Structure 1
Amino acid sequence: MSRALSVSDRQSWSHAYAWLLLGFICYALPWSVFAATPGNASTVLRIQGSNTIGAKLGPALVQGLFEEQGLREIRLEPSAVENEQQVLAIDGSGRQIGITVAAHGSGTGFVALQDGSADLAASSRPIKDAEAASLTRLGDMRSLAAEQVIAIDGLAIILHPSNPLDALSTAQLAAIFAGEIKTWEQLGGRGGAITLYARDDKSGTFDTFKELVLAANGKTLAAGAKRFESSNQLSDGVSQDPSGIGFIGLPYIRQSKAVAIAAGQSQPMLPSATLIATEDYPLSRRLFLYAAPQAANPWAKALIEFAHSPRGQAIVEHSGFIAQTVQAVKVQGSPAMPEAYRTLADQAQRLSVNFRFQENSATLDNKAQRDIQRVLDFLKGQDKLQHKVALVGFGDPKNDPARAALLSKLRAMEVRRGLARGGVIVRDIIGLGEQLPVAANSADEGRIKNRRVEVWVY
């Protein structure tokens, strides 16, 4: 005998119907609909470190890698935590995977490698001795397998667009940011009191500025400087402040004005692409990824190799940094050049790469070892393997100028040995010793930069 449903019966049937309907929807719709939330993603790689890399370049390289791997529905999702992002994609099996990019400063990347919370450390400076020592259980973090230079960047010194100042020396910069030069009038400009804009203590950008400018001149940052974790916020602040001066990575100049910089006896140089690619610009720097030499994570290895590839370097350039792609550049000769160098400028072109060496060593550094193959690829592509290459070595001052010239020539000969393994027969080797410095020789960092080998092609 039928009877009317009670209120509780009707509620029970309503709940049951809702569950049946939800079950049907789950069965009927593709799994990717439900995999589309970041919380469901399987994290395959964790990157921690530099804001300079993590804000734009890191995510762009990850997206490029996903595209190369044939993944679909690739997208960038911001995290609930500031300066953290996740790149998400669907793999061939319909599973959603993600790579996290946390950008809280270079130093945090090495801490994360140590505690196991990251697989790759992104850094806008070389690893420090203490950091390398703390990671010895992972292997030699300065080895070719561990240290990867993925791009070149330049620290731009930025002013308000209306500031008439065009050039500064690194010594002047140090005095400005130490608070010793307090007004623009002291520099021959106008605008009254100087306002300092600086990155925060965790930033590799600040570490680089501190090492290349402040510490090199025995200074420390003035306590009154405004500090920023975000590169964009710092640059925008300077562009809106007629009294402001700041330092920033090259892609973040934005609406500000960059000035030319001189170091020691070098000529003032603007942060141009060529001068940064060769690392001649006084405030040029390398951008790194660090991984354990025997890293087991296949995504870490894949991302590193992709970053070095032509497509990866195209992304570097598109992101506003300087790619390590080799190009031939015409150099304008001048009477101030040594005669042999002026002849080269008249008759040949310079390649956009300099070979540099490990500290206190005649061994090519990690970047240079990879650059050997890049130069070989360029020379083969341009049919310049036979008697079309000149190598020019430089160094730091010695008590005997002849010894400085000899050492610079020996450095060029080391590069010749590397190129010879690829079939290059060098036309000429020139040693110019301490001439044409690109950095001050008063500190180790400057002397290392001056010990270099240029490649010229006819």
Structure 2
Amino acid sequence: MQALRRLFSSLFGAFLILLSLGVAGQAQDVVLTSRDGAIELSGTLLGFNGEFYRVDTVYGELTVDGSGVTCDGPGCPSLTDYIAQVRLSGARELGQVLMPALLEAFAGQNHLSAILKTIDDSHFTYVLKDRHSNKTQAEFHFQLSTAEEGFADLIADNAEISMSTREIRPAEKRRLEEGQPHDLPYSREYVLALDALVPVTMPDHPVHQISLKNLALAFGGQLTNWRDLGGPDAPIALYLLNRTSGASQSVTDRILKPANQDIADSVTRIPDGKDLDLRVSRDPLALALMPHSYMRFSQPMQIFGECGVSLGVDPRMIKTQDYPLTAPIFLYMPMHRLPKIAREFLSYTSTDSAQAVIERAGFINQTLKEVPLNQQGDRLVQAVSVAGTSSVDVAAGQAVDATKSSEPNTGTTLKDLQTMLNFLAPLRRVTMSFRFLSGSSQLDAQSRANIQRLAIVLESGAYDGRQLAFVGFSDGLGPASSNLEIAQKRAETVRDAVFKIAEAVNLDRINITTTAFGEAMPMACDNTEWGRDVNRRVEIWVR
């Protein structure tokens, strides 16, 4: 079945390319000549997006501005009746509702009619026509399958946009970069919306929280009775979406693999997220991991650590990445330039209008909110509870020694806490944070997208006349003084990354500051890797 699907995908993609170039079964040989006739370039036409030719030549793949050359040969496209062809392939969860809704909204804002032509439930096309002239401007061809299939189509040049509910895996990224002059830049990775993986049970279930370690052991088949999780003496019925879903693959990548576990054979697979939610809500033995976007009737569990800190899921926690299992929704693009209308569509998806569409589709949008300190009670309680002690102390009373430093970690003092609160009290936290890959100085995917997003917001003048602070926090491992220094450097690194992109921002109109409070406000326990990852962060505060 997979082989047939792959064959159909390749044939479908090839047909669309040939159709868009106006050729059928011919060698697409072209000769591009500069307007003055001084330069001539020949090769095989790989694509034309209405502005640029993409040609395979003896010098490799080249992109040539169409305004500076003439084209001769059987592969030359028509410049007068050009219709942009955009192929989208990948996660069915995105192609069924969210992407069509965004495309229809984009068309409406640009005085275009969006006409749907359905081939089957996995293949359909939106034809965008000018409402006044009725001239076709673009055709967006959808092929719904899985995130994995979408990446395969992108690698095979059978798609301009790959839709995914998980981040691209290292092996997929390497295949996509093969034959390219540079590594895949992060600008070709786009965070469209936000979601999260959530452990869920039937409503009114007596077990309300679970650790990531026990989640891994349960779905690995090592814990089989609710009694092991503090519940009644009853077997655990495990549920997940199908193996090919991005959410299930994220469970493997982010929860099972770090714990050296494989998914148990006893897991029941459900193909549809809505059906999974309903099934769990009616099964008193059920334990499932599912996307937040599908939660309607099931009951979410909190994730807790041994030090007593529990983290629940809500839109704010997902936006700020304070929840440890956030799951961004991705679009991936090839190395070459997309047609202009495709670029305009992608730009539209970051607008306020698009954020409303994203929310209606059940996902978490990326609209920035400001939260005053007095609405962050849980964080303050946690900060006060660890003041005067080392934040690496765990429930058993033992500290985790990761640095082997002879300098003791005295933790956050009450004076440190007072200094932090005095600084933050008049400010409001923006629902955007920056976190780093585990054991790395590199930002994670959602944070990389936040760099771009904050740069755009600053260039728009949204924070002109205001104070904007990059505030660094750390985990509690090692000397407190070193943690404070590391947190300060991270805040400065994020600030520099933002302003490297935000070239048009007027710095005279914004009061930019960086500061750090080290381990003063932990979000999770430092005796787990995921807890330390959550605690190492840079927050944005404004006044």
TM-score in terms of structure 2 length? 0.68
- Residue equivalent to 1:280: 322
Q: Does 1:371 align with 2:453?
A: yes
Matches within 5 A, 1:405-444: 405-417=484-496, 422=505, 423=507, 424-427=510-513, 429-433=515-519, 436-438=522-524, 442-443=528-529
Following superposition, the deviation at residue 173 of structure 1 comes to: 1.1
| Stretch moving more, 129-138 or 393-402 | 393-402
For residues 372-423 of structure 1, give each alpha carbon's deviation from its aligned partner in whole angstroms, at most 9, with x where no partner exists. 2255268x435553xx333321234554442222111111122333566632
Over 3 Å counting, the alpha-carbon distance change for 1:138 and 1:56 in structure 2 is: farther
Following superposition, the deviation at residue 89 of structure 1 comes to: 4.7
Conserved 8 A contact 1:65-1:306: yes
The 3-state SS of whatever aligns with 1:284 is coil
- Residue equivalent to 1:234: 276
- Alpha-carbon distance in 2 for matches of 1:141, 1:321: 30
- Residue equivalent to 1:19: none
Following superposition, the deviation at residue 146 of structure 1 comes to: 0.6
- Read off the aligned partner of 1:425 and give its amino acid letter: N
For residues 160-214 of structure 1, give each alpha carbon's deviation from its aligned partner in whole angstroms, at most 9, with x where no partner exists. 1131222111112112111222122322223722111112222211122222221
Matches within 5 A, 1:44-55: 44-55=85-96
- Residue equivalent to 1:352: 431
- Alpha-carbon distance in 1 for matches of 2:168, 2:182: 11
Over 3 Å counting, the alpha-carbon distance change for 1:381 and 1:113 in structure 2 is: closer
Over 3 Å counting, the alpha-carbon distance change for 1:43 and 1:375 in structure 2 is: closer
- Read off the aligned partner of 2:159 and give its amino acid letter: A
Following superposition, the deviation at residue 241 of structure 1 comes to: 1.8
The 3-state SS of whatever aligns with 2:313 is coil
Over 3 Å counting, the alpha-carbon distance change for 1:264 and 1:146 in structure 2 is: farther
- Alpha-carbon distance in 2 for matches of 1:76, 1:194: 44
The equivalent position to 2:254 in structure 1, one of 209, 212, 217, is 212
The 3-state SS of whatever aligns with 2:512 is coil
Over 3 Å counting, the alpha-carbon distance change for 1:90 and 1:454 in structure 2 is: same
- Alpha-carbon distance in 2 for matches of 1:345, 1:354: 16
For residues 25-82 of structure 1, give each alpha carbon's deviation from its aligned partner in whole angstroms, at most 9, with x where no partner exists. xxxxxxxxxxxxxxxxx8932211223423322222122222223222x36566524x
Over 3 Å counting, the alpha-carbon distance change for 1:442 and 1:80 in structure 2 is: same
The count of aligned residue pairs is 411
- Residue equivalent to 1:457: 542
- Read off the aligned partner of 1:361 and give its amino acid letter: S
The equivalent position to 1:381 in structure 2, one of 447, 451, 462, is 462
Over 3 Å counting, the alpha-carbon distance change for 1:90 and 1:375 in structure 2 is: closer
Following superposition, the deviation at residue 217 of structure 1 comes to: 1.9
Percent identical among aligned pairs is: 24
RMSD: 3.0
Conserved 8 A contact 1:141-1:291: no
The equivalent position to 1:361 in structure 2, one of 416, 421, 441, is 441
- Residue equivalent to 1:404: 483
- Residue equivalent to 2:160: 119
Conserved 8 A contact 2:278-2:298: yes
The equivalent position to 2:120 in structure 1, one of 54, 67, 80, is 80
| Stretch moving more, 209-218 or 90-99 | 90-99
Following superposition, the deviation at residue 439 of structure 1 comes to: 7.3
Matches within 5 A, 1:12-411: 44-72=85-113, 74=114, 79-81=119-121, 85-92=124-131, 93-94=133-134, 98-136=139-177, 137=179, 142-190=184-232, 192-262=234-304, 267-330=309-372, 331-332=376-377, 333-334=380-381, 335-336=384-385, 339=417, 340-344=419-423, 346-357=425-436, 360-361=440-441, 366-376=448-458, 380-381=461-462, 383-385=464-466, 388-396=467-475, 398-411=477-490
Structure 2 stretches of 5 or more lacking a match?
A: 1-82, 388-416
| Stretch moving more, 398-407 or 208-217 | 398-407
Conserved 8 A contact 2:89-2:144: yes
- Alpha-carbon distance in 1 for matches of 2:481, 2:150: 44
- Read off the aligned partner of 2:462 and give its amino acid letter: G
Structure 1 stretches of 5 or more lacking a match?
A: 1-41
Over 3 Å counting, the alpha-carbon distance change for 1:271 and 1:116 in structure 2 is: same
Conserved 8 A contact 1:404-1:434: no
Over 3 Å counting, the alpha-carbon distance change for 1:249 and 1:272 in structure 2 is: same
For residues 225-264 of structure 1, give each alpha carbon's deviation from its aligned partner in whole angstroms, at most 9, with x where no partner exists. 1113322222222122221121222120021111212357
The 3-state SS of whatever aligns with 1:135 is helix
Over 3 Å counting, the alpha-carbon distance change for 1:179 and 1:123 in structure 2 is: same
- Alpha-carbon distance in 2 for matches of 1:277, 1:126: 17
- Alpha-carbon distance in 2 for matches of 1:295, 1:263: 46
- Alpha-carbon distance in 2 for matches of 1:306, 1:288: 15
Following superposition, the deviation at residue 298 of structure 1 comes to: 3.2
